[in-house]
Each structure stands twice: as C-alpha cells, then as structure tokens.
A and B are shown apart, each in its own frame.
Chain A
Amino acid sequence: MNLKLKALLKSPWVFHLSTGSCNNCDIEILDCLTPRFDIERFGILLAGSIKHADVLLITGSCNRQSVVRMKRLYEQVPKPCLVVAVGECALSRGMFIHSYNCPVPLDKIIPVDVYIPGCPPKPEAIIAGVVKLIGKVK
C-alpha cells in the first residue's frame, strides 16, 4: 500500500449529503462527533466544502430532484474518494421502493464502496462500517 492511500485512510474528511432522507440518519451521523463516540480520534472530520472531502456520505432515497445534484457533487470530489451509503433508503429505497419519485437505488447511479444498513443505523454501526471500509481498501 502506498503512502498516498495510507494517509487517506488515516485522515478521511467526510462530506455529508442528504438526498431526501427523513433526517434520522443525519442525526445519527452527527452523534458520531459527540464526546461519547468522538471520531476525531481516527482523524475523521466533517468537511463543509465538497472540494475538501475524501468520503461522500449519502443518506436518503435519491429522488428525481436530488439525483442531478448528487451526480454533480460526485464529479466535484477530488479523487481518490470513497462513497458510503448510510441507512435503508440509500441502500434499497426502503419504504419508498414503489414510489414514482425514486426510480433507481443509489448504487445504480454512482459506485458505492460500503453499505451501512439500519433505519436509522446506530452510531456504533456507522463506526463499524467505516472500519470495514478501511479494511476493504487495505
């Protein structure tokens, strides 16, 4: 494994994108930053700008309005980057699977590196997912 990838795994900055979620997954993601879980221990920071990010964290059911924005944001992440899908909606559209507004799941649109199931997933599950992601890249 080269130095570039090693440094990327030691300090992944996360950009958090909601494509029409009910806000539950987003609250659980913010829980990871609280003193109880403190993911800054692993060098993970929440980036405000997409140009600073290494990991694109996507929640929600990818409706027709947000798919266009999501594609543009995915093109703007400086490569190499990773994509994480959080929550049932981002994995398989959840209860919106028959909705007219959510034609395809997330991984038919952009390549996804790790899936974290749950409605919403616990903060422990999100951290376990990130650990699996790092193991997979290694």
Chain B
Amino acid sequence: MAYVIYLIFYGFLLTAAIGLLASWIDRKVTARVQYRVGPPILQPLIDIVKLLGKETLVPRGASKIIFLTAPLVGLTSVMLVSTLLWVNNIDYGRGFLGDLIVVLYLLTIPSMSIIMGGFASGNPLASLGASREMKLVLSYELPFVLVAFVSVIKAGFSIRLGDILMSQAQNGVVVGSWSGILALIVAIMSVQAKLALVPFDIPEAETEIVSGPLIEYSGSGLAAYRLMKNMLLFTLPFFLMVLFMGGLRLDGVHFLYGVLKYIGLVALITVIRNTNPRVRIDQAVRFFWGPMTIIAILAVLLAFMGL
C-alpha cells in the first residue's frame, strides 16, 4: 500500500506540480531574455487542462492503438523513475540492488514513446522527426551511461542509488572532485538532448519540420506528451542531483540547498537553450561521440585514480 501512495503522491502529483512550475520558470526566463513579459504562473497547467478538453483526432493512415497508447507509455515510465528517485531520497535504505540501471533504462522510454508515436501517426514529417530522435538517442546514451559510471566508482562500485547518496553524504559530493566536474558537464549536455531543448531540438524543430513526431497529436494525446515533457524537466535535473550533487536532503538547511541546486540546474538549462542556435543531426552525433565521449572516458579514468 505504501508503494501505491509513493507512486501516486510523489511519483505523479508532486512531480507534475514541480514540473509544471519548472516549465513556467523556463518560459518566463525565456521571455525576460527576449525583453518580453511572459506568461502567468498557471499557464502550463491551463494549457494541459485545455488540451484535455479538446477533440482527439486519429489520422486515417495511422495505426490507431499504438498512436493512442504511446503517450501513456512515456508518461508511466517518467512516473516510475521519479518514484524511484523520491523513494531513495527519503530513505537511503529503501532502494534495491541495481536501481541505477533500472532508472537509466526507464529514462530512455520517453524518447522511445515519442519515436513510437511519430512512426505510428503516418505523417512524413512525423517519421522524419522520429528517425532524428532515434539517432539522437543513439548519440547521447553512450556518454550519459559513462558519466553515471563515475558516481558508481566514487560510491565504491555500488549500483544502488541509496549507496551513492550515502557515500556522498559521508565523503562530500561527487561534483567536488575533478572527475565529478567533467562528468557533470557531459551530463548536462546529455540532459539538454534528452529534453530536446534548443541546441539539440532537432527532432521537433518548430520552424523546420513543424513539431516533428507530435505533429498529428491533438487533445488528450498532446496533453499527455506535454505533461511528460514537463515532468522530465523535473526528473532529469533531479537525477543529476542524485548522481553528482548529493540529492535532496529533507532535514533543515540541507533542504534549502537542495532547492537552490535544482533551480540552478533549471536556470542553466534555460540559459543554454536561449543562447544557442539549433545544430544539425550529424553535428549533434559528432559532438556526442567525439568530444563528449572523450571527456566522459577521461572522467572515468580520473575517478579510477581517485581524483
């Protein structure tokens, strides 16, 4: 029973609330950077309520079942990831052996659901976007898994999130060392690509292939995708905090530090998004397999040497 409460309250409601707020911060900061006023604070929530009330259209050539279930697959996996992260943050001993690997797998599924939905909708622009998303997944997964390995080495070769958090609480955070700094840089770049934000928004380039995989979605399907993206805007920075910055501790002044770490990461992601042009897909693949992978391997070697 306790797990159901964790899943519904922490995994869905709290994550969705913080995610919607983070998406508002993102839009507001973007507007201020462009000397605009920006939307009111409840705008992301209103958007989703509006989309839920609209008609859902299924295109004629689409495969109907996959088209309608793909958004739910992504939403469910984000819920599961955030539940796992919250459980480990609240009580270090609550996790199970290998939950880091489960989290890494589940974080790939939102991209998979976008690919499934894009190909199922039967639109040429959507399948173009879905194939770009697939190439992007192949490019950023390698450095992302390598930098997760840095935290594993620092925690004494343990693949439990609880052990990683515990060792950071005792010996200082991972980002305090040289290997940790390099790993965090690579991880932020990968998160930018995972969220499909501007230097790497190649799959859903608004001005080029309209909205990519989401072009045929309307009504509740689009609402589920938007909610999934907003929840990812909470879950991915939170995962980085768990891996490199000691997580969110709920006692006293540490809680304030945790909130500041989260807001700092979201602001950094937004600033990167607002100061960069979009790259081509071949440039993105070269960037992740070239410099990012080399830095990630360097970070792993430094972690082996204890730096």
Identify which of residues 200-230 in chain B touch chain A, using a CB-to-CB cut-off of 8 Å: 206-207, 210-211, 214-219, 222
CB <8 Å contact, B49 and A52: no
CB <8 Å contact, A11 and B46: yes
CB <8 Å contact, A38 and B31: yes
| A38-B31, A43-B43 as given contacts; A7 in contact with B38, CB under 8 Å | no
Closest Cβ–Cβ distance, residue A17 to chain B (whole Å): 14
Residue of B whose beta carbon sits closest to that of A4: B53
Range of interface residues on chain A? Answer: 20 to 34
Instruction: Tell whether A24 is near chain B: CB-to-CB under 8 Å.
Output: no
CB <8 Å contact, A38 and B53: no
CB <8 Å contact, A43 and B40: yes
| A10-B46, A11-B50 as given contacts; A52 in contact with B39, CB under 8 Å | no
Q: Which of A8, A38, A52, A76 is B36 in contact with, Cβ under 8 Å?
A: A38
Residues in A neighbouring B251, C-beta threshold 8 A: none
A94–B169 alpha-carbon span in the complex (Å): 73
CB <8 Å contact, B215 and A51: yes
| A3-B53, A8-B53 as given contacts; A35 in contact with B39, CB under 8 Å | no
- Convert B19-39 into 0s and 1s, putting 1 for each residue whose CB lies closer than 8 angstroms to a CB of A: 000000001000100111111
Given A41-B40, A48-B206, A51-B57, 19 new contacts (CB under 8 A):
A3-B49, A7-B50, A7-B53, A8-B50, A8-B53, A10-B50, A38-B37, A38-B38, A40-B38, A41-B37, A43-B43, A48-B210, A48-B215, A49-B214, A51-B215, A78-B54, A78-B218, A79-B54, A80-B55
